[in-house]
Amino acid sequence: MEVMELLDAYEAGERTPEDLVQDAFDRIETDDTNAWIATRDRADVLAEVAELGDVDLAENPLYGIPFAVKDNIDYTGLPTTAGCPAYAYEPAAHATVVDRLIDAGAILIGKTNMDQFATGLVGTRSPYGECRNVHNDAYISGGSSSGSAVAVAREHVAFALGTDTAGSGRIPAAFNGLVGLKPTRGVLSTRGVVPACADLDCVSIFAWTTDDALRVEGVAAGFDSDDPYSRRSADDLEPSKTELSSITIGVPTTDELEFFGDEEAAQLFDDTIEEVELRFGELTTVDFTPFRKTAELLYGGPWVADRLSAVGEFIEAHPDEVNPTVADIIRGGDAYSAVDTFEAFDQLKTLRREAEQVLAGIDALVVPTAGTTYTIDAVQSNPVELNSNLGYYTNFVNLLDLSAVAVPTRSFEDGPSFGVTVVGEAFEDARIASIGAAIRSETAGSTRATAEPIPSSSN
């Protein structure tokens, strides 16, 4: 269910938005995935579709396209829970990004499941049920934007919004065969989004293609004067493709690649890189140290206190309503002093300068999106360490103010998809997406979820 294909089908009279909405609700009602926390009333959505009428598609670039949003993003008419029923509130207004998508003709179907308070990369930390990998239900979907990824991968909707602070918009894309675009910080307004780390949070996009993701970003992007984290440069973002004839791709040195003992993942990356080299020529190995050290700061430094600032008071007032792992992680922010914070800020400035020097010699950095994947049982047995492993290639991106796109390239033998992330400087969203599209076209790609995922061996 690609956005561009649907728009072409509408224009040709082969499909109608009403057809798509009916299909979306039919799939949701018969597909037991735990992807959704709440959906709108079918009749209300169909009435909204009827009001669209005949419009100029050029002026309504997402006309009749069904979409979903992670349930930490506000939509009036549905409560926002952030994955915690006791936290639920009724928003007085749509989030800015939701407003812009609806104004462009997109049709919201509902709110999707997530790791509670957007704290996790696994998709298992939710009272609404675990989201399972669409290719093998014994495996994790990835998180925290788990439901948004599953809803797109199962073709309930054509695209979905997630959020990404540590990698939540890229890890679920990696495991479910999707494109996950993590825009530059501040390009998409976070007004109306429950904060995790407000200074780092990004609204992310799940789609089947980079063209679709860029189309959605182009609609949703723009400066929001009511959002203190929005950036005026967002108005200058040009969602167009870039010239790829002379691109220098950097990859970490072999000794800095980490697959956590997963030889299959290491081989999948090697195979992908061989094909990337065929497309772009000889690759440049770079020092990954500043990126790795920055990644360690996200949960090993005072940025955890930002999460405590956002929801710590609620957690203390409702200790029995919060996932124990989530609560322990967020409470850890209390351990950092003001001195610790300023020392970490200084360390980050040094690491940013070192990262800038690395990126100055290349056009994009390509890394595995995740160094391995895990079963749900494994994550439940070791929730913190395994989650931390998943952030090795993602946690540094927002701290260093970079743009990134995850694209699928291959699949694990057991089903979950494997992919790489293309990382570039801030406001290079379109360029890195174009590089990601070229990499995807050169590689084996991934198989979309079938009507029924591969069952786990325990089923």
Taking the model in full, what pTM does it have?
0.95
Amino acid 83: pLDDT: 98
Percent of the chain's residues with pLDDT above 70: 94
Cβ neighbours of residue 282 closer than 8 Å, sequence gap 6 or more: none
Cβ neighbours of residue 195 closer than 8 Å, sequence gap 6 or more: 201, 306, 310
Amino acid 237: pLDDT: 64
Cβ neighbours of residue 61 closer than 8 Å, sequence gap 6 or more: 104, 105, 215, 218, 219
Q: Over the stretch 71-109, which tens digit does the pLDDT of each residue have?
A: 999 999 999 999 999 999 999 999 999 999 999 999 999
Q: Over the stretch 390-446, which tens digit does the pLDDT of each residue have?
A: 999 999 999 999 999 999 999 999 999 999 999 999 999 999 999 999 999 888 655
Residue 53 gets the label, from left (phi > 0), alpha (psi -120 to 50) or beta, of left
Q: Within 13 Å and on the Cβ side, how many CA atoms surround 65?
A: 33
User: For the chain, how big is the Rg over CA atoms in Å?
Assistant: 20
Beta pairing class for 66-70 and 107-112: parallel
When pLDDT is averaged across residues 146-163 and rounded to a whole number, the result is 98
Amino acid 242: pLDDT: 63
pLDDT band, very low/low/confident/very high, at 11 (cuts 50, 70, 90): confident
pLDDT band, very low/low/confident/very high, at 325 (cuts 50, 70, 90): very high
Q: How far apart are CA 435 and CA 344, in angstroms?
A: 33
Q: Looking at 163-172, 334-343, 360-369, 448-457, which range is the least confident one?
A: 448-457
Residue type, 255: D
Burial class (CB in 10 A: 0-12, 13-18, 19+), 242: middle
pLDDT band, very low/low/confident/very high, at 226 (cuts 50, 70, 90): very high
Both tokens of residue 230? 């929005």
CA 229 to each of CA 4, 190, 333, 345, 430: distance values in angstroms, whole numbers, following the listed order = 31, 7, 22, 18, 21
When pLDDT is averaged across residues 182-192 and rounded to a whole number, the result is 97
Q: Over the stretch 127-136, which tens digit does the pLDDT of each residue have?
A: 999 999 999 9
DSSP track, 99-155: HHHHHTT-EEEEEE--SGGG--SSS---TT-PPBPSSBTTBB--SSSHHHHHHHHTT
pLDDT band, very low/low/confident/very high, at 451 (cuts 50, 70, 90): very low
CB of 98 within 8 A of CB of 74?
yes
Amino acid 234: pLDDT: 59
Residue 222: pLDDT above 50?
yes
Amino acid 454: pLDDT: 45
Q: How far apart are CA 455 and CA 278, in angstroms?
A: 36
Amino acid 241: pLDDT: 53
CB of 63 within 8 A of CB of 24?
no
Q: Collect contacts of 259-265 with beta carbons under 8 A, ≥24 apart.
A: 259/368, 259/371, 259/372, 260/371, 260/372, 260/389, 261/372, 262/371, 262/372, 262/373, 264/412, 264/413, 265/368, 265/370, 265/371, 265/372, 265/373, 265/412, 265/418
Q: Over the stretch 108-123, which tens digit does the pLDDT of each residue have?
A: 999 999 999 999 999 9
When pLDDT is averaged across residues 261-287 and rounded to a whole number, the result is 95
Residue type, 55: V
Which CATH superfamily hosts domain 1-459? Amidase signature (AS) domain (3.90.1300.10)
pLDDT band, very low/low/confident/very high, at 57 (cuts 50, 70, 90): confident
Positions marked active-site: 70, 144, 168
Q: Within 13 Å and on the Cβ side, how many CA atoms surround 209?
A: 11
CA 338 to each of CA 50, 305, 313, 358: distance values in angstroms, whole numbers, following the listed order = 55, 10, 19, 30
Both tokens of residue 183? 């825009």
